Structure 1
């Protein structure tokens, strides 16, 4: 009788825990990955996302160009775990990359920087073998970005022309959040004015407001869709190439 009760209780526990166990597993998608040439193994400052130097060195240069995951630029800045599937050469954790560019390869979703591609291997010799393959079978899943010590920042794009044309890139966005829209506060009209997605992660506005510039941006992520307004404004004497701290961060 005691044995039967214990068996029944054990079965009930398994039934109750099974949905939690199933939903806690990461979901990976099968694909392919290759790499691009780089003189220093870092990313490229000329990527389609418009990140500039940030796109070259963020995440210690473990970055990637993507094809369908680019999603018209809204995929810029997303983070993924990418691991190859050859048990002879591949590390079980693979590489953690930040999307900074658009690129199409031989039926690939990822074109990795050399630093990221080498992280796929289980050891240096295995990485060398993967480089010889050129294209490898992989599986990937989206993961939360982590930028310890950094708030979200507004980077004024180098193409900006003070005071007539302002273009910004929003960087160091943590979590699993996509930026869908950016708006600038128009003080004279007392309303928010939409900025244009120029390309990639670059948002721009002709004839921006004079004085301090207040921005807000719409993000979609695990918490749904919401607007985020920075605590700090871009100063009235903003300069092309400068970055300004928002004093906010997302989960």
Structure 2
């Protein structure tokens, strides 16, 4: 489910100006940001990236929907520092967020979870910041870091149906890296076969190879442009929907 017009905690207030897309000397870009309603202030499990519950709680719920930064799904999982510009209410560091959804809010680049939006404020000034509904911000892409999960995992999407349909999401991708291509090794044809980007960060294939899954994916970002990363035993022979499988891959 994609996010469109949002109803904030204090009512449906969404007055937005056209973002100023100009860079500052420290590589921040000027824009606008708002937030969406959430009963527990976390993200949504129905985000367009297809992360499910991972997208609700990853990064302690400091997540965001983005518009053009979504980049047809290749922007899913990217991390950004977002800070607002009102010196009375806004902290210097702002919020560090993970992209888990697509959404547009009248030319805003970010629609933050309430938890992330509150991080924009100085201590004890979040209420005042929420009352604005929309704020001017600066943002820049930063490296993703997951202190408790420093290796990549392959999660079998809940919609997978063993053995006829496999969909996966690659999670805990560190650094500033985009996954651009995913392929499985087809033993009987002796060739790599590309998976389809189903939506967001979800890659799928009908009639996947039997046995242990050998997988490779192409990375564009801090580890290099177009670099291939190969995993011999990415998934076991009898993979299960909803299960995340560990790897020893570190991306920085």
TM over 0.5: yes
CA offset at residue 231 of structure 1?
A: 5.0
TM-align CA RMSD: 0.9
Distance 1:204 1:232 in 2: 17
User: Quick check: 2:169–2:203 contact (8 Å CA) kept in 1?
Assistant: yes
Give ranges in structure 2 of 5+ residues lacking alignment.
Answer: 1-24
| TM alignment of 1:9-48, pairs within 5 A | 26-48=26-48
> Is the aligned partner of 1:225 residue 2:221?
no
Q: How big is each residue's C-alpha offset from its partner over 1:171-199, in whole Å with a ceiling of 9 and x where there is no partner?
A: 00000000101000101111110000000
Query: What are the Cα deviations for residues 65-122 of structure 1, in whole angstroms up to 9, with x where unaligned?
Result: 0000000000000000000000110000000000000000021000000000000001
Q: TM-score, normalised by structure 2?
A: 0.88
Q: Which residue of 2 aligns with 1:137?
A: 136
- Residue in 1 aligned with 2:7? none
TM-score, normalised to structure 1's length?
0.88
CA offsets 1:8-53 (integer angstroms, 9 cap, x no match)? xxxxxxxxxxxxxxxxx63000000000011110000100000011
Contact 1:80 1:96 in 2 (8 A): yes
Q: Secondary structure at the match of 1:237?
A: coil
Q: Quick check: which one's helix share is greater?
A: 1
Runs of 4+ in structure 1 deviating by more than 6 angstroms, as ranges, are none
The aligned residue for residue 7 of structure 1 is: none
| Partner SS, residue 51 of structure 1 | coil
1:200 equivalenced with 2:196 (yes/no): no
Give, in whole Å, the separation in 2 of the partners of 1:248 and 1:152.
Answer: 6
Tell me, in whole angstroms, the C-alpha distance in 2 between the residues paired with 1:216 and 1:105: 36
1:245 alignment partner in structure 2: 246
How many corresponding residue pairs? 226
Matched position secondary structure for 1:205: strand
Quote the Cα distance in structure 1 between the aligned partners of 2:109 and 2:95.
14
Secondary structure of 1:211's counterpart equals coil
| SS of residue paired to 2:55 | helix
* Contact residue 213 and residue 233 of structure 2 kept, 8 A: no
Which entry has the higher C-alpha Rg, 1 or 2? Answer: 1
The answer to whether the 8 A contact 1:44-1:55 is kept is: yes
The gaps in structure 1 that reach 5 residues or longer are 1-24
Name the CA distance, whole Å, in 2 between partners of 1:123 and 1:185: 52
In structure 1, distance between residues paired with 2:205 and 2:191: 15
Asked whether the 8 Å contact 2:215–2:233 carries over to 1, the reply is no
Say whether the 8 Å CA contact 1:231–1:247 is kept in structure 2: no
Report the equivalent of 2:121.
121
Match of 1:185 in 2: 185
Give the Å deviation of 1:237. 0.7
CA contact (8 A) 2:212 2:233 kept: no
Q: Compute the displacement of 1:249 (Å).
A: 1.2
